[in-house]
Structure 1
Amino acid sequence: MPGRQSFPAFSPERFAPTRQRPLRAKARVLEHLADIQPHRHDWAQLVFSMTGAVRVNTMAATYIVPPSRAVWIPPGLVHAVTAIEQCDLRTLYLGPELLAGEAWQVGRVLEVSPLLRELVLALPALPDPTPPETAEDAERRCSIERLVLVELQRARPLALGVALPQDARLRRLCKAMLDEPGRHTGLDEWAREAGASPRTLSRLFREQLGTSFAQWRSQLLLAHALTLAARGRPMSHIATELGYASASAFTAMVTRTVGMPPSRFFERA
């Protein structure tokens, strides 16, 4: 893409929040299916993409988010990031004292307001200012950082996470479904691929995730559908990519799952 800017892959430690800089911004371009391997750090993180969808995995859940949505990662939580498509990734690193309430101690998806998006773009995205900041630059940056915190506290949480099991066999199956949600539609096909009986997998879904296979798969498909809708894909294309025989069958699943048709759900979500 002409004019596209690429960013070097700086180590997170070079962006570690300090008393002088408790909030740091980082930017990089991730190619399609590029991975940031599992890791953890002592500071909180907000990760989102200006363009392209990303998937953030933790031990407990996976979050599939299009632009205008972000994943909040509390301090100490092991996480990995995968680019579902090429994306212009933005990351905020925050000292744990900045947002220390109970709600900030768990991972979740947050809405990114147009103002928050522009504020993040305005923050320096290099480990060290070059040339060094002037007093005026530092005052402007501190003002932007204060507004970022205000917008984060106002950000609406969204239920876009998909829970992941601890059982190794079921976790492998769930990850395969995350990678190719439309490859099979029913539990029998996935069970044959996993080398387990449908009854065993059905029991594991209930025990490990507190839900049925069909309910879990519906949540997964909704998350994937949201990223496709954000790219402007027509409903018929979304239905086909997710393994539905028709747009009407996909519409029925969404309406049954969230109580509203896809057009209204995508607009709200």
Structure 2
Amino acid sequence: MATRPTRRSFPAYLPERFAPTPARPVRAKARVLEHLADIQPHRHDWAQLVFSMTGAVRVNTEGISAAAWPAASATYIVPPSRAVWIPAGLEHAVTAIERCDLRTLYLAPRLLPGDAWAAGRVLEVSPLLRELVAALPGLPDPLPPESADDAERRAGIEHLVLAELKRARPLALGVALPQDARLRRLCEAMLREPGRHAGLDEWATEAGASPRTLNRLFREQLGTSFAQWRSQLLLAHALTLAARGRPMSHIAAELGYASASAFTAMVKRTVGMPPSRFFAEA
């Protein structure tokens, strides 16, 4: 009988030692996370961009952000070509869906002001932005002295990072999470194993509630139906699987669909295009 991987939880890795300063308003940090490793919920006074060079990650955010409606409680499932923007002061946690080379940028809030940067969201990671992040020195305080040439190079990289972030296209890959404890447990179970049950009746039986009650809670808590919420969740997982080069039949089976054609119909219904085009454009 196969055993499930062990989930491990770690505190945030000394974020205060990477805090932006007037001299260094953009800081970088690298960390390898094994499969199912968690970075515990935390918050800080600076903004953050988190993505993985290799491997998919899940980012949870909690609490209320100035531009978020109705609250910034959400989960983002992203492959290496995507990043999650986390505004200053927003509580967040990270889970490795698979072994990943995690990269974090810490940015002084003044660098990207305005409502567009006041809420969490998913952004594209261009090849240039990916290489710029990798080129930034990822050292904690106290920092060693820099030569004049090194400081000039770093400042140039920071300037280009901000330019690429401003150009990055936002993507609707976030899945809202409810406040109701019963519905929250159900949503968390679906996030962990989206293909375990295909319909609301099965999930309702597991949750110990009627389908009618759960549908009402989805409407009241999240402003959407169970089917619409689940479709967004499945699209996020499908994009992660597609980024690993998985064939369509494998993606459909892992997400609980009886056939690739049934999965294709869901994608067309949700985003108005076939999976091949959706994955290519996303």
**Structure 1 partner of 2:20:** 17
**Structure 1 partner of 2:36:** 33
**Structure 2 partner of 1:50:** 53
The alignment partner of 2:101 has SS state of strand
The alignment partner of 2:111 has SS state of coil
The alignment partner of 1:140 has SS state of helix
- Pair 1:141 & 2:154 matched: yes
Q: Do the aligned partners of residues 129 and 268 (structure 1) sit closer, same or farther apart at CA in structure 2, a change above 3 Å counting?
A: farther
Aligned residue identity for 1:154: R
Write the deviation string for residues 8-64 of structure 1: whole angstroms up to 9, x where unpaired.
x84101001111111100001000000001110000000000000000001311100
Task: For 1:109-120, list aligned pairs within 5 A.
Answer: 109-120=122-133
Aligned residue identity for 1:227: T
| Deviation at residue 126 of structure 1 after TM alignment | 1.3
Structure 2 unmatched runs, 5+? 1-11, 63-72
**Structure 2 partner of 1:4:** none
- The whole-number CA distance in structure 1 between the counterparts of 2:210 and 2:252 is 28
| Deviation at residue 132 of structure 1 after TM alignment | 2.8
- The whole-number CA distance in structure 1 between the counterparts of 2:141 and 2:179 is 40
Structure 1 unmatched runs, 5+? 1-8
Aligned residue identity for 1:99: L
- The whole-number CA distance in structure 1 between the counterparts of 2:142 and 2:54 is 25
The alignment partner of 1:250 has SS state of helix
Task: For 1:78-157, list aligned pairs within 5 A.
Answer: 78-128=91-141, 132-157=145-170
| Deviation at residue 130 of structure 1 after TM alignment | 6.8
Aligned residue identity for 1:34: A
Deviation >6 Å, runs of 4+: none
Aligned residue identity for 1:40: R
- The whole-number CA distance in structure 2 between the counterparts of 1:147 and 1:77 is 25
- The whole-number CA distance in structure 1 between the counterparts of 2:162 and 2:215 is 43
Of residues 187, 191, 199, the one that matches 1:178 is: 191
- Pair 1:220 & 2:233 matched: yes
- The whole-number CA distance in structure 2 between the counterparts of 1:131 and 1:25 is 15
Aligned residue identity for 2:246: R
| Deviation at residue 242 of structure 1 after TM alignment | 0.3
- The whole-number CA distance in structure 2 between the counterparts of 1:107 and 1:214 is 24
Of residues 208, 224, 231, the one that matches 2:244 is: 231
- The whole-number CA distance in structure 2 between the counterparts of 1:119 and 1:170 is 41
| Deviation at residue 197 of structure 1 after TM alignment | 1.0
| Deviation at residue 260 of structure 1 after TM alignment | 0.3
- The whole-number CA distance in structure 2 between the counterparts of 1:200 and 1:246 is 30
Aligned residue identity for 2:257: Y
RMSD: 1.1
- The whole-number CA distance in structure 1 between the counterparts of 2:281 and 2:250 is 20
- The whole-number CA distance in structure 1 between the counterparts of 2:212 and 2:156 is 57
**Structure 2 partner of 1:197:** 210
- The whole-number CA distance in structure 1 between the counterparts of 2:196 and 2:88 is 36
Give the TM-score of the pair, scaled to structure 1. 0.95
The alignment partner of 2:263 has SS state of helix
Identity of matched residues, %: 87
